[in-house]
Amino acid sequence: MISSRLIVDSDFVIADLDRRLFGTFVEHMGRCVYTGIFEPGHPTADEDGFRQDVLELTRELGPTIVRYPGGNFMSGYNWEDGVGPKEKRPVRLDLAWYSTETNQFGTNEFMRWAAKADIEPMFGVNLGTRGPDEARHFLEYCNHPGGTALSDLRREHGVEKPHDIKFWCLGNEMDGPWQICRKTPEEYGRIALETAKVMRQVDPTITLAACGSSQWDMPTYGEWEHTVLDHCFDEVDFISLHTYFTNRYDSTEEFFGNIEQTDQFIKEIVAVADGVAARKHSRKRIMLSFDEWNVWYKARSIDDLRKPGWPQAPRLIEEVYNFEDALVNGGALIVMMNNCDRVKTACLAQLVNVIGPIMTEPGGAAWRQTIFYPFAQASKFAHGRVLRSVVESPSYSAKSFAEIPYLCASVVDDEATGQTVIFALNRHLSEDMELKIELRGLGRDRHIETALELHHANMKATNTLEAPDTVAPAINPDVRADGETLIARLKPGSWNVIVTRAADRCGATS
């Protein structure tokens, strides 16, 4: 057994946790929309064609904000195609995913689905094939009350009240050579600035995110953010980050290095953004929107990305997640929570079927992938402020990072209820960890409300249609409280959530 120590103090706070950190992503790609969230004729479909089994799992997953309609799809999308009478909507070729888009699901359908799922929408505008004029028109259609051609058109389409969509992305991955009508940093910075200006004129209450690097190892990484923000700094609120974790060495220990890389990625983008602010003598701080992230490395061949013949809703990148993928995603969530002073939104990409935590069969069942559980538990239990943690843990060396502590942890404290939650990942693959957690200044007479662990002896274990519960959370009985201290025994290679409360704190229960 190895020993680790986790120390927090009620006076040392990183920031209040923005609940939008637990977002997800719906793109017109593969089966995310069609036979994912939307399947008229399915046994569970409601009057809008929304799968109720998927809606129930979405509510259990607990996303707070959802990004739509893309993704790469966004850079070739005409929003007008997806509104109005369905029988009049055009069928288009989708150049992003070499598919045929029927447009039977669009803006108003998505907003009805988001309302039923109780999720805030995050919309994007096409800055690939289109530009500022279409962006302001789309915003006017969605958010203006009435009395103009576009707002009255929305009302003719059966939506009397404005959608009042507050969060908007200015394009998608415009640095990527795969992107439809990619831009140089100068080109994108200029168009982002002008688009932001006209959108704010239509609705000054919106929040805007500019595109950052599509991944941390892009050739233009760093330079892209600096140039883009140099142009549009005054008009935007966020810069985006995207990353997909890979297991290039087929080694769990190396795979865990993605967690450290994510932390470094965040801190580097913060440094670049603050450098731009310093040069402009501005006290404004650009926040980070980690609006695409997930494990993705198995379904990456050309056959996984494109199907011949322009099919409708083909099976694209339907990654089958295993247990070690869930551990890496849990570690990424810990990193984002520990950077909550700057990471204010994040979107697990995507929600259903396409690298999704939820899988479906057309006409059949829906089930939870392994990565479902760390996200669902973090979204359920992480409320309040994130405390600054001191981690004392043995570590190991890897090719990806010279030193990787076996313990990865975050502590979130809710002053309103008195609840303190510890999220902990034991990255040692063969040894239990005895973890001593010192919760200083957070009350005594502490009791454990629940202690959950996600563990499996086989790192490659998966959940399938035939065996949907192979990997699932269980109670960890080896957690006890002693005054301000908790002592927990964590299994090798395990994700853990400990929910505790002190009897002498506000909102405490017996």
**Catalytic site positions:** 173, 292
Q: What is the DSSP letter of 18?
A: P
Q: E strands of 432-493, at which residues? A: 433-440, 446-454, 474-475, 479-482, 485-490
Q: Which amino acid is at 21?
A: L
How far is Cα of residue 44 from the mean position of the Cα atoms in its chain?
27
- Find out whether 119 and 64 touch, Cβ atoms under 8 Å: yes
Query: What does DSSP say about strands 65-68 and 207-210: parallel, antiparallel, or unpaired?
Result: unpaired
Nearest-angstrom CA–CA distance, 500 and 471: 25
Cβ-contact 358, 351 below 8 angstroms? yes
> b or e along 38-62 (b: 16 or more beta carbons within 10 Å of the residue's beta carbon)?
bbeebeebeeebbbebbbebbeebb
How far apart, in whole angstroms, are the C-alpha atoms of residue 113 and residue 96? 24
Q: Which residue has the tokens 């551990």?
A: 327
CA 199 to chain centroid, in Å, comes to: 25
Residue 394 and residue 405 in contact, taking contact as beta carbons nearer than 8 Å: yes
List C-alpha distances in Å: 42 to 34, 147, 200, 313, 363. 11, 39, 41, 16, 5
